[in-house]
Amino acid sequence: MPVDRYSTSLSTTRSGTLFSHQGVRFIRGFVGGVDELPRRADELGLRTRLAFSLSSYREGAVDLCFDHELYLALIAAVASAVGCDRFVVGDGTGSALDSSLQALRERMETVPEVEREPFEQISIARDERVRALVVSEPWARVGGPDPYHDSYVAAVFCDEGSIAKVEQEARAACEHMGAEVVETIAANPVPKLTIASRVRRAVHRALRSNN
């Protein structure tokens, strides 16, 4: 199966954390009044969107936690789907190149567990060509709108021809990690933002940066 291409380095090395719930929502496209097309994705011609909304809870705990292993398995699934093996973490303007999935994991695990967050942006490339962009929005910090309320969101931007394979491999990764795909939402194929929604996004962005 496609998942085998990345399971050795990520999916089979669980830290031992027990979860009472691992839920993932798949959102195809752009939720009206909420989602936008990042400038970098637009510049790269990566305008088709699939988002993963992650909600995981540890056994015996009531607070949402960031399941970094599930997140990394989904990143691996995206890379596998688009046939890439290079990862640039940051915003693409001089950030360091991580050469492997294992390097991403090691970089994340240098941070104490309670302080871990999704990478703000990951460019997934082969040779010099970026084939997918993953942009994270930690709505868990500030609540956030439906369907992202209290979740960690990783939005994938790629070309239209790759999106079905990305979803297929992401579903396989969820199954492999024991996570349940609780809902699949078909949103708009293009962003639909009003002035008011842009203001709300700016406020949420400011709150997230201050937390």
In degrees to the nearest 10, what's the CA dihedral of 126, 48, 41, 81? -20
**Residue 8 scores a pLDDT above 50:** no
Average model confidence (pLDDT) for the chain? 83
In whole angstroms, give the CA distance from residue 103 to residue 163: 25
**Residue 79 φ then ψ, to 5°:** -60, -40
Which of 5-9, 64-68, 96-100, 140-144 holds the top average pLDDT? Answer: 64-68
**Residue 121 scores a pLDDT above 80:** yes
97 band by pLDDT with thresholds 50, 70 and 90: low
**Residue 19 scores a pLDDT above 60:** yes
Model confidence pLDDT, tens digit, residues 161-210: 999 999 999 999 999 999 999 999 999 999 987 655 566 656 555 655 55
Q: At what angle do helices 68-82 and 101-108 cross, to 10 degrees?
A: 160
